């Protein structure tokens, strides 16, 4: 039976995650860290709730938890807008996750055009600002009390989230907007990613400096939150820069140029005979074929090494071959970012390369790609 990977809807959520539903066909996950956030918000809001409505006792913490739920509902709208825009432009959305520092939308694949990058990025802050503006209008007509306090918090939080996300540094949405602009101007998405990534790093350093220099012993929570946000920005920006460097090193790299000389043999041929023929032919890889000549698998060197040599005459070569089902076949002409994208979507140690006429063009080994990438300038 060919192996198939489960869809995003079928996969179990990762440890520490709770699935609460789906939006635009993608699962919505909540990190267990959210409960810490809810508790922190309840604790921080309690004094303010006491000012607005004294005498609630322990119920004042329930107000904070209710506000946390409403706030993360607004963040979910922010992330859902990213997901809907991504699907509109033909991208797959693996999941929407709500976590300690907000939310994240896992988009599978690469955006092909700068304007798509722009709209997928900017729609999130626009949504948050719209929600904040709507809450502000509601606040104007809400009477004093708990309801007015909650609406006030939602208005302020959403406006801050929307504006802050427009700051031009990765991994913030504004960084992707900046990337789209530079991409459109230079024609190179990697240049946009690098510039926006370094801007994100500078922003992280500035935020960390603010947390340390502006440290207030009376407000340790603020210092801690600023420090966590700075770390989040630094690692997110660094990851984007590293990814951009890798994409640049794939520029001009053509799969066919790294193809190993390949021997095709029937899949029921004894392994010993297949090895003899490959040595005689000078082939570095072996592809098995079905009775009608269709490629079926690629001999796995690790499986071959694990098979005792005395058994080779008695087992079929197919017993040490990895099936080609599941995306392990690539066109020999694939190159650059398209090649990198294919490798990311279907990681494997070997791939079958096929010529335009459908014939076997060779085998591409991940180790050969890694060797070539290391040889190229950073």
Q: What is the DSSP string of 147-165?
A: HHHHHHHHHHHHHHHHHHT
Report if residue 117 sits inside a domain: yes
Is residue 246 domain-shared with residue 266, that is, in the same domain? Answer: no
Report if residue 189 sits inside a domain: yes
Report if residue 244 sits inside a domain: yes
Q: For residue 362, what pLDDT is reported?
A: 93
Q: For residue 256, what pLDDT is reported?
A: 93
Residue that is last in its domain, among 219, 250, 281: 250
Is 373:249 a contact under the CB 8 Å cutoff? yes
The whole domain housing 263 covers 255-375
pLDDT less than 50: residues of the chain: 1-9
Number of folded domains in the chain? 3
Closest CA to 248 of 335, 180, 190: 190
**Structure letter (DSSP) for residue 255:** G
Is residue 222 domain-shared with residue 259, that is, in the same domain? Answer: no
Sheet strands side by side (includes 295-299):
262-266, 285-289, 295-299, 321-323
Is residue 22 domain-shared with residue 132, that is, in the same domain? Answer: yes
Is 179:170 a contact under the CB 8 Å cutoff? yes
Q: For residue 164, what pLDDT is reported?
A: 92
Is residue 91 domain-shared with residue 194, that is, in the same domain? Answer: no
CATH number for the domain that contains residue 302:
3.10.580.10
Report if residue 173 sits inside a domain: no
Residue that is last in its domain, among 233, 250, 267: 250
pLDDT per residue as tens digits for the range 229-260: 899 899 999 999 998 888 888 888 999 999 99
Is residue 142 domain-shared with residue 35, that is, in the same domain? Answer: yes
Is residue 108 domain-shared with residue 66, that is, in the same domain? Answer: yes
Report if residue 175 sits inside a domain: no
Report if residue 198 sits inside a domain: yes
Report if residue 177 sits inside a domain: no
Is residue 358 domain-shared with residue 307, that is, in the same domain? Answer: yes
The set of residues, in sequence order, having a beta carbon less than 8 Å from that of 187 and lying 6+ positions away, is none
Closest CA to 13 of 24, 2, 3, 22: 22
Is residue 245 domain-shared with residue 351, that is, in the same domain? Answer: no
Residue that is last in its domain, among 136, 166, 196: 166
Is 80:23 a contact under the CB 8 Å cutoff? yes
CB burial readout 11-47, b (16+ within 10 A) else e? eebeeebeeeeebbebbbbbbeebeebbebbbeebbe
Is residue 156 domain-shared with residue 82, that is, in the same domain? Answer: yes
User: Are β-strands 295-299 and 321-323 bridged in parallel, bridged antiparallel, or unpaired?
Assistant: antiparallel
Is residue 265 domain-shared with residue 236, that is, in the same domain? Answer: no
Q: For residue 328, what pLDDT is reported?
A: 86
Q: For residue 215, what pLDDT is reported?
A: 58
Is residue 193 domain-shared with residue 291, that is, in the same domain? Answer: no
Q: For residue 219, what pLDDT is reported?
A: 62
Is residue 138 domain-shared with residue 68, that is, in the same domain? Answer: yes
Report if residue 16 sits inside a domain: yes
The C-alpha atoms of residue 127 and residue 163 are separated, in whole angstroms, by 11
């Amino acid at each position: 039976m060919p192996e198939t990977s489960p869809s995003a809807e079928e996969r179990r959520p990762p440890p520490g995650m709770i699935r609460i539903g789906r939006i635009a066909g993608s699962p919505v996950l909540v990190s267990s860290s959210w409960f810490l956030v809810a508790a922190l918000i309840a604790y921080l809001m309690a004094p303010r709730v006491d000012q607005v409505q004294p005498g609630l006792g322990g119920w004042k913490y329930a107000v904070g938890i209710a506000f946390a739920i409403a706030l993360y509902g607004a963040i979910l709208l922010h992330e859902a807008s990213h997901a809907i825009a991504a699907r509109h432009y033909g991208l797959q959305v693996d999941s929407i996750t709500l976590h300690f520092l907000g939310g994240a939308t896992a988009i599978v694949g690469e955006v092909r055009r700068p304007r798509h990058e722009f709209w997928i990025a900017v729609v999130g802050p626009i949504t948050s600002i719209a929600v904040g503006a709507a809450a502000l209008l509601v606040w104007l007509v809400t009477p004093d009390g708990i309801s007015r306090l909650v609406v006030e918090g939602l208005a302020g939080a959403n406006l801050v989230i929307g504006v802050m996300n427009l700051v031009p540094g990765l991994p913030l949405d504004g960084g992707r907007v900046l990337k789209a602009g530079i991409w459109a101007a230079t024609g190179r998405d990697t240049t946009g990613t690098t510039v926006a990534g370094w801007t994100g790093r500078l922003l992280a350093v500035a935020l960390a400096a603010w947390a340390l220099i502006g440290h207030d012993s009376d407000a340790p929570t603020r210092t801690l939150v600023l420090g966590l946000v700075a770390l989040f920005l630094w690692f997110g920006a660094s990851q984007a820069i590293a990814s951009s460097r890798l994409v640049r090193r794939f520029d001009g790299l053509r799969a066919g140029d790294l193809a190993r000389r390949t021997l095709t043999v029937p899949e029921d041929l004894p392994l010993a005979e297949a090895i003899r023929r490959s040595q005689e032919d000078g082939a570095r890889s072996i592809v098995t074929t079905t009775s009608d000549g269709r490629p079926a698998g690629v001999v796995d060197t690790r499986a071959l090494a694990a098979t005792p040599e005395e058994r080779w005459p008695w087992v079929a070569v197919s017993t040490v071959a990895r099936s080609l089902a599941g995306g392990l076949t690539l066109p020999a002409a694939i190159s650059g970012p398209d090649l990198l994208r294919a490798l990311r979507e279907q990681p494997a140690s070997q791939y079958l390369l096929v010529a335009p006429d459908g014939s076997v063009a060779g085998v591409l080994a991940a180790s050969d790609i890694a060797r070539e990438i290391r040889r190229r300038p950073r």
